[in-house]
Amino acid sequence: MSRADEILEPMWRTIDSIVDEEALRRRLDAGERLRIKYGVDLTAPDLHLGHAVNLWLMRHLQDQGHTVVFLLGDLTTQVGDPTGKNETRPVLSPDAIEANAQAFLDQVSIVLDTDPAVFEVRRNSEWFGRMPISELLGLFSMTTHAQLMARDMFRERIAAGREIALHELAYPVLQGYDSFAMRSDVTIVGSDQLFNEMMGRQYQQRLGMRPQSIITTVITPGLDGGPKQSMSLGNYVALTDTPADKFGKIMSLSDDLAGVWASAYTSLDDRELARIREDVKAGGEVARDAKLTIAGAVVERYHGTAAAAREREAFLNVFSGRADPKDIRDVTISDRALTALDLLEAVRPDLSRSARRRLLAQNAVRVDGRLLGDPNEQVTVTDGSIIRSGRRAWARVTVRAGR
Amino acid sequence: MSRADEILEPMWRTIDSIVDEEALRRRLDAGERLRIKYGVDLTAPDLHLGHAVNLWLMRHLQDQGHTVVFLLGDLTTQVGDPTGKNETRPVLSPDAIEANAQAFLDQVSIVLDTDPAVFEVRRNSEWFGRMPISELLGLFSMTTHAQLMARDMFRERIAAGREIALHELAYPVLQGYDSFAMRSDVTIVGSDQLFNEMMGRQYQQRLGMRPQSIITTVITPGLDGGPKQSMSLGNYVALTDTPADKFGKIMSLSDDLAGVWASAYTSLDDRELARIREDVKAGGEVARDAKLTIAGAVVERYHGTAAAAREREAFLNVFSGRADPKDIRDVTISDRALTALDLLEAVRPDLSRSARRRLLAQNAVRVDGRLLGDPNEQVTVTDGSIIRSGRRAWARVTVRAGR
């Protein structure tokens, strides 16, 4: 197994295709430290599991010593990559752009390693901000109208009689030039970005640079079976969703998508994936349990084992009819560590002290599924902890930062 | 007759249409001093009678106190207005651009009044040179792909399967913005520029300025009957052609174009024009004489009455068979003013001094058709003067600047 084989092996699961795989393999085999282009437009971010597929691939390469160059498209944001759905994008103020940049950094750091040794942040205003118009026109001269019209999205817009503004035609050129300016070796994108990144290869070659390889990734259907997860369709699981929301959304997934989601969004191994595919076919409780496994694996990936166990417990209680979602009250406490009796007082102010002691004695109180018996036991809760106190009494804890 | 009527009256002869004539009339009636946009790309200029149609209209407006803003497209030259014939334009060096700018100024000053009170020279690098790319993209956003595709030339190129580079699509935007940046009130162009100048109106309006009126002028067929005079087709009369070349080229014009040329390129009055149209129908010597009138009127317009008379004489001699064009030798002399005998010595070194005196005595010597008799007569010649010295001996003089 070559070095490239070893690095790529765990990636194939979510890779759709690689443009110039030959060059990528050669460079990985040679032990080159690659620069990975990760470009975003600075609209308000709400990264979802679909975006995270690419981020996890980048993270894998970071773990091998390669550098993610996180390119904040502060200039291109003013243009907006044209899409099929919106003809124009609202103009963002510099303040809004800065706020979005910070929010992006917060969200990508959920997955990426932000150690400066393997993470670099750039802005495309660095080069476009000082580029004379004559130079931009020179870049334009390297691209033809026919070439741009080959982009599906443009063709579809025209066929539908919808307008394309001239600045939208310029977008692929700008995104392409970014690859040159930031010296991209490889980029990992959804297939909808393949056209623009091929422009990147073209500009790198025309300007005398080795062209980047392009890894495109699988696009996973939305929760509703729509073609993909999309912010505007609301059929997605956001990286910033609470563990409870992540768990619940995945449990709402239709059975026929379970296999695809498990493969794309978890690191469950092949044997486990095969079993999930079998189980969802069986339907009923077996299929439900398969989705519990997926939901648990996703929550575990982002929030750890304890959170996964907790959400599983909470879901099962709701699902089994022992608790109705509306019965789960939200309770705010100010201490993370307190005695079982004090916790119960916060959760059940409706009961007398003796009634609370009785509940504990009756083994009717659980925190994240763990039984509490001793009233003086020290209990640690975290945001989202689920506390059961009796047959149909459930509470979810929010910890308010103390003094 | 309103003020506008008076100003426009002599212009109609070469005006094809006026966009927003209403506004133009209102402003002329109000006595506004208008700014007339005259934009050129700085390729090597070779202005011909077709260009001069527009220049004479501008000159007429200058004579009324309006200002021609001569816009040197030093930035847009780097792009090139896309044409049907060339897909790309060679990139010009800054030196070449400067040389062309000077040549342009030299040629337009043949017709235009370059008094700073009515003549201003600008360069579009003044605004595009310091415009940030983000602002250019903002201008792009005001124009749609469909709008640009409405331009005949683009449609024809696509229909013919020929490429359009993206920078060519940007050209109409740049030319349009020029109208805003230079505060154009009116522009006088060939109808092939109407699309781009309509973009000018659009940008002026979008950016809060009164839109310019656009005067388009008639396009006159080439000497060969081709659709227009064109540098690349070589079927044109250049402003810098010698009087002899201008005269000769116009005499080569086909009879059926004579009326059109007379109307567009001379200031012969309506009665004279009507007669020319009659005479060319008659054919033969009558038609030839009509063209002599046109050729004489054109040469007179650019070089004065004497030159016109001289070229007429020279042409008649050739035409009547008394001289063959190849019999007209070129002779260089270093003095403008000299005696008849000295001139004859310069022209006929093949003859003895007594033979030259004999020619003068025989009334066989003419300068530009004027008879010379006295050997000591002071004669003034100019570049192009035709000297006849005997039955079939003709010479055309070039005056070499003396010490």
Q: Which amino acid is at A90?
A: P
How many whole angstroms separate alpha carbon B275 and alpha carbon B269? Answer: 10
The more confidently predicted of residues A381 and A226 is: A381
What mean pLDDT is reported for chain A? 88
CATH placement of domain B3-217: 3.40.50.620
CB distance A199 to A173 below 8 Å:
yes
Say yes or no for a CB contact (<8 Å) between B75 and A134: yes
Average pLDDT over residues A298-302: 95
Does residue B262 surpass a pLDDT of 90? Answer: yes
What is the residue extent of each domain of chain A?
3-217, 243-319, 325-399
Contact indicator for A9, A64 with CB cutoff of 8 Å: no
ipTM rounded to 2 decimals: 0.74
Among residues A77, A65, A5, A79, which one has the least CA distance to residue A35?
A65
Tens digit of pLDDT for each residue in A198-227?
Answer: 999 999 999 999 999 999 998 887 777 777
Residues in A closer than 8 angstroms to B166, CB to CB, are 140-141, 143-145, 148, 169-170, 173
Give the model confidence (pLDDT) of B130-140 as tens digits.
999 999 999 99
Kindly write down the DSSP assignment for every residue of A156-187, as one continuous string. Answer: HHHHTT---BHHHHHHHHHHHHHHHHTT-SEE
- Rounded distance between C-alpha atoms, residue B175 and residue B143, angstroms: 13
Lowest-confidence segment of A310-324, B80-94, B254-268 by average pLDDT: B80-94
pLDDT higher than threshold 50 for residue B208: yes
pLDDT digits (tens, 9 = 90+) for A254-275: 888 899 999 999 999 999 999 9
Token pair listed for B224: 């060969």
User: Which residue type is seen at A330?
Assistant: D
Measured distance CA(A352)–CA(B159) in Å, rounded: 86
End-to-end CA gap in chain A: 56
Q: How far is A42 from chain B (nearest CA, A)?
A: 15
**pLDDT of A79 over the 80 cut:** no
Cα torsion A53, A55, A59, A61: sign: positive
CA distance B141 to chain A (A): 5
Question: Average pLDDT of chain B?
Answer: 88
Contacts of A159 (CB under 8 A, 6+ apart): none
Please report which confidence band the pLDDT of residue A401 belongs to, taking 50, 70 and 90 as the band edges.
low
Mean pLDDT over B331-343 rounds to 86
Residue A324 has pLDDT above 60, yes or no: no
Give the mean model confidence (pLDDT) for residues A133-157.
89
Chain-chain contact of B78 with A166 (C-beta, under 8 angstroms): no
Task: Compute φ and ψ for B328, nearest 5 degrees.
Answer: -80, 105
Residues in A closer than 8 angstroms to B144, CB to CB, are 163-166
Rounded to a whole number of angstroms, the distance from the CA of A159 to the nearest CA of chain B is 12
pLDDT surpasses 70 at A104: yes
CA B354 to mean position of chain CA atoms: 47
Per CATH, B3-217 and B243-319 having the same topology is answered no
CATH number among 3.40.190.10, 3.10.290.10, 2.40.160.40, 3.20.20.70, domain A325-399: 3.10.290.10
Tokens 């909470």 belong to A314
Both structure tokens of A33: 């430290």
Determine what percent of chain A is predicted with pLDDT higher than 70: 92
- Give the residue from A125, A102, A105, A7 showing the smallest Cα distance to A62: A7
Give the integer Cα–Cα distance in Å for B132 and A135.
12
Q: What is the pLDDT of residues A234-246, one digit of tens each?
A: 678 999 998 988 9
Lowest mean pLDDT among A54-58, A78-82, B107-111, B137-141: A78-82
Is the alpha carbon torsion for B372, B374, B376, B377 positive or negative?
negative
Residue B82 pLDDT class (50, 70, 90 cuts): low
Nearest C-alpha in A relative to B75: A134
Judging by DSSP bridges, how do beta strands B328-333 and B394-399 pair with one another?
parallel
Please check the confidence at residue B224 and state whether its pLDDT lies above 80: no
Give, rounded to a whole angstrom, the gap between the first and last alpha carbons of chain B: 56
The dotted CATH code for A243-319 is: 1.10.240.10
How would you class A346 by CB atoms within 10 Å of its CB: exposed for 0-12, middle for 13-18, buried for 19 or more?
Answer: middle
- Residue A2 scores a pLDDT above 90: yes
Average pLDDT over residues B363-387: 83
Confidence category of residue B32, pLDDT binned at 50, 70, 90: very high
List b or e across A355-377, with b for residues whose CB sees 16 or more CB atoms inside 10 angstroms. ebeebbeeeebbbbeeebeebee
pLDDT of residue A195: 94
